Amino acid sequence: MQEHDMSWVRTEMVLAQPAPASVTGLGAWVRKNLIASTGDTILTIVGIALVAMILPQIINWAFINAVWTGPDRTVCATVAQGGIQPDGWTGACWAFVNAKFGQFMLGRYPIEERWRPILVAILFVALLVPMLMPKVPRKGLNAVLLFFVLPIVAFVLLVGGMFGLPHVETSLWGGLLVTLSLSFVGIAVSLPLGIVLALGRRSKMPIIKTLCVVFIETVRGIPLITVLFFASVMLPLFLPEGVSFDKFLRALIGVSLFAAAYMAEVVRGGLQAIPKGQYEGADSLGLGYWQKMYFIVMPQALKLVIPGIVNTFIGMFKDTSLVIIISMFDLLGIVKQNFSDANWATAQTARSGLIFAAFVFWLFCFGMSRYSMYTERRLDTGHKR
């Protein structure tokens, strides 16, 4: 009986087969992500129904039926309301936003002086963009220009009253100009102040520690409106007779102090996360307190809490809308004020204006949060365990 030769070895590999059709392609994706089980299928159907119900309405309202330009309310009102649109029409009134765009951006800033805030905005963008791009060199010079020179230039340009520029009252400021200048100053003041407060709270000196704790916990326990009330009603009482200062400045102080208390808690979280060995290592090198903080502790602590810091910035950016309560007109305030303009009063005005404002706020906040995610990834040195 002849035996088979069993020592056969395959010399050529079988060619790799493509993945089976059931795990690739659109069909497989749908099976996996939309109809994996009965429950999943029901959820998908409910979701599709929800989207199909809402999305066409939104698109219809915001784009297809929307009115983009027009001189006054007639373009956004139905015939029954005294306009030109057919009865039963609903659509966004972007014509309102279009007509009031200048006001929404700059408030009641005098028309012939509007080149000044626009110039400040251009300078701001020109300094901010290279600051945000990690590859652009000369960060130190850039930071000095952005945080020290620009505020002075902006102050001279916006307020005026010197170098032949006419004086513009801050009560005439409004719109995005107020929102951005409040938040810029708030950010620039609250971060250093918050760091100081956080260091004070972790200080070994009992009196300084107590003062910081009392300040932080009090401010965090009350709403911003109360702080603004405090700034607008009580600050004038605190000053001698005849001395008073600008309402804008008072709002600035209120917002900055409020944000500083929250910032202090965020920074404290970072400080607590730094291992004791880092402090001791710095001490053993003979560094003084401020050197230790500046060179060793803070760079690590701040890096850890970037998300928290940016969240506080976003929160403060949103909170600037509250200055409407002490009758200042930021972006939201000026939009709301324009609802009462008889020239534009229609059923769609409020909705359109508010959605425009929401979009602007959303752009800034979403941008900030995305940038913070990017920075976090970039600074991640892989020391996390």
Partner 1 sequence: MASQDVLREEPSRGSFINDPKIRGIFFQVLVVVLLVAGVWWIAHNVIDNLTRLRIASGFGFLKGRAGFDISESAIAYSSDSTYGRAILVGLLNTVIVAIVGIITATIIGFVIGIGRLSKNWLIRKICTVYVEVFRNIPPLLVIFFWYSGVLAVLPAPRDSINLPFGSFLNQRGFYFPRAVWGDGSWLIFVALLVGIAMAWFVARKARQRQMATGQQFPVFWTSAALIVGLPLLAYALSGFPLSFDYPKQSTFNLTGGFQVRPEFLSLYLALSCYTAAFIAEIVRAGIRGVSAGQTEAAGALGLRSGSILRLVVVPQAMRIVIPPLTSQYLNLTKNSSLAIAIGYPDLTATAGTVLNQTGQAVEGVVIMMVIYLAISLLTSLVMNWFNAKMALVER
Name the site residues for partner 1 (rule: CB under 8 A).
Answer: 33-34, 36, 40, 43-44, 47-48, 50-51, 204-208, 211, 218, 220-226, 229-230, 233-234, 236-241, 314, 318-319, 321-322, 324-325, 332, 336, 339, 347, 350-351, 354-355, 357-358, 361-362, 365-366, 369
Cβ 191 to partner 1 shortest distance, Å = 21
Count the Cβ atoms, other than its own, within 10 Å of residue 380: 10
Of 141 and 234, nearer to partner 1 (C-beta) is 234
Of 146 and 360, nearer to partner 1 (C-beta) is 360
Cβ 30 to partner 1 shortest distance, Å = 9
> Which residue in 306, 307, 314, 313 sits closest to 362, CA to CA?
314
Of 191 and 355, nearer to partner 1 (C-beta) is 355
> What residues pair up with 330 in beta bridges, in sequence order?
175
Cβ 196 to partner 1 shortest distance, Å = 12
Quote the strand ranges of the chain, DSSP E: none
Q: Are 97 and 356 in contact (CB under 8 A)?
A: yes
d(CA 169, CA 346): 32
Torsion angle, CA of 297/303/305/307, rounded to 10 degrees?
A: 170
Euclidean distance between the first and the last CA atom of the chain, given in angstroms as a whole number: 66
Of 256 and 346, nearer to partner 1 (C-beta) is 346
Of 49 and 84, nearer to partner 1 (C-beta) is 49
Cβ 53 to partner 1 shortest distance, Å = 12
Cβ 106 to partner 1 shortest distance, Å = 20
Cβ 360 to partner 1 shortest distance, Å = 9
Cβ 238 to partner 1 shortest distance, Å = 5
Residue partners of 270: CB distance under 8 A and separation at least 6: 300, 301, 302, 303, 304, 305, 308
d(CA 42, CA 209): 57
Residue partners of 143: CB distance under 8 A and separation at least 6: 131
Cβ 222 to partner 1 shortest distance, Å = 5
Of 298 and 322, nearer to partner 1 (C-beta) is 322
Task: Kindly give the interhelix angle for 206-221 and 247-273, rounded to the nearest 10 degrees.
Answer: 120
d(CA 254, CA 227): 6
Count the Cβ atoms, other than its own, within 10 Å of residue 323: 28
Of 153 and 211, nearer to partner 1 (C-beta) is 211
Q: Are 70 and 76 in contact (CB under 8 A)?
A: yes
Cβ 2 to partner 1 shortest distance, Å = 53
> Which residue in 259, 264, 373 sits closest to 318, CA to CA?
259
Query: CA angle, 183 as apex, 266 and 311 as ends, to 5°?
Result: 30
Helix (H, G, I), strand (E, B) or coil at 273: helix
Of 161 and 236, nearer to partner 1 (C-beta) is 236
Cβ 159 to partner 1 shortest distance, Å = 26
Of 206 and 275, nearer to partner 1 (C-beta) is 206
Report which residue type is found at 245: F
> What residues pair up with 85 in beta bridges, in sequence order?
78
Of 46 and 79, nearer to partner 1 (C-beta) is 46
> What residues pair up with 220 in beta bridges, in sequence order?
none
Helix (H, G, I), strand (E, B) or coil at 93: strand
